[in-house]
Amino acid sequence: MLTDLQKEIIDLKDEKNAIILAHNYQPKEIQEVADFLGDSLELCIKASEIDDKDLVVFCGVDFMAETAFILNPDKKILIPDKDAECPMAHMLSSYEVKEAKEKHPDAAVVLYVNSLAEAKAEADILCTSANALKVVESLKEDKILFGPDNNLGKFVARQTDKEIILIPEGGHCYVHKMFHKGDIAFAKEKYPNAQIIVHPECDIEVQDFADAVLSTGGMISYVKESSDNEFIIGTEVDLITRLKREIPEKKSYPLLDEAICKTMKLHSLEKVKNSLVNEEYPISVPEDIAKKSLKAVQRMIDVSK
């Protein structure tokens, strides 16, 4: 049952002709008021299809809301807590991308959507964890500059003949770095019948011990479609919240209870209400950067559809 605050948010949404987009890592109370829940690619595609809405409240991290703005520069895109940043996105500057391009002029630049708008403006195309291999394979170049997540880059590199050059050295997600192969051995002992599913931001040796390596949206489809009943999930803990809400008949366990993305958790129902009432906090990207990065965002959407 919804709380009074949740009902208020739903009424405000109608009043303001707003939509709440939320990432799969949002907590239960936010998942319950969201109009659309998804992984980065699903959210990006959804953000490209919201012409009928005046306001977007984005419950996710900065790069996701920025991408929604790039796709909708005339709309108000709001983020409930303005400190909700993805540390990985801040690991690669546009300067570093330009420098890498000068060093490898024959390479195409594929940037993970978890990157700053200024860096996206230097990319040929973006990718997410759901489509990285497909994006790389869609390019004519045999040499690819790939960043900022080194693990996603390595995940792609082992499935393609193209040369993948990782930028920057050491780009990573601190949440997915928490998992070690020992955690998998421990979880397998505890739940011997469970399948292990991990995110491609995990270290390669963790990926090697998994039954499947998937984006968060891919994990949801996998659990839905599998004939198995138990799953160990190697990503942020609130993905389990969505799995339990949507597929309650199957059991899923976190690979680590501590795998929490702190900035994803900065949003709250009170802050979502504040966003709707006071139209805070607006996301914006300078016009020239937004225009340049739109090409890379749109190209990714076109390749993915």
Note the residues at the interface with ligand SF4 (CB under 6 A).
61, 86-88, 114, 173, 175, 201, 236, 261, 264
Nearer to ligand 13P by Cβ, of 144 and 239: the residue is 239
Alpha-carbon gap, residue 212 to 196, rounded angstroms: 7
The contact pattern for ligand 13P, residues 102-121, with x = CB under 6 A and - = no contact, is ------------x-------
Residue 264, binding choice from ligand 13P, ligand SF4, none, Cβ under 5 to 8 Å by partner class: ligand SF4
Q: Segment 228-287, which members bind ligand 13P (CB under 6 A)? A: none
Residue 128, binding choice from ligand 13P, ligand SF4, none, Cβ under 5 to 8 Å by partner class: ligand 13P
Q: Which of 32, 201, 203, 238 binds ligand 13P (CB under 6 A)?
A: 201
**How many other C-beta atoms can be found within 10 angstroms of the C-beta atom of residue 270?**
11
Find the shortest distance in angstroms from Cβ 198 to ligand SF4.
Answer: 13
Alpha-carbon gap, residue 218 to 86, rounded angstroms: 21
- Give me the phi and psi of 247, to 5 degrees please: -135, 65
8 A C-beta contact, residue 202 and residue 234? yes
- Give me the phi and psi of 233, to 5 degrees please: -110, 115
Nearer to ligand SF4 by Cβ, of 98 and 174: the residue is 174
8 A C-beta contact, residue 189 and residue 166? no
Nearer to ligand 13P by Cβ, of 155 and 276: the residue is 155
Nearer to ligand 13P by Cβ, of 100 and 239: the residue is 239
**128 part of the interface to ligand 13P, by CB under 6 A:** yes
Nearer to ligand SF4 by Cβ, of 242 and 273: the residue is 242
Alpha-carbon gap, residue 164 to 21, rounded angstroms: 33
279 phi-psi bin (left φ>0, alpha ψ -120 to 50, beta other): left
Residue 87, binding choice from ligand SF4, ligand 13P, none, Cβ under 5 to 8 Å by partner class: ligand SF4
- Residue 132, SS3 per DSSP: helix
Please measure the distance between the N-terminal and C-terminal CA atoms of the chain and give it in whole angstroms: 36
**How many other C-beta atoms can be found within 10 angstroms of the C-beta atom of residue 209?**
19
Q: Which of 26, 31, 67, 129 binds ligand 13P (CB under 6 A)?
A: 129
**207 part of the interface to ligand 13P, by CB under 6 A:** no
Q: Name the nearest CA neighbour of 219 among 232, 206, 203.
A: 232
List of residues contacting ligand 13P (CB under 6 A)? 24, 39-40, 114, 128-129, 173, 199, 201, 215-216
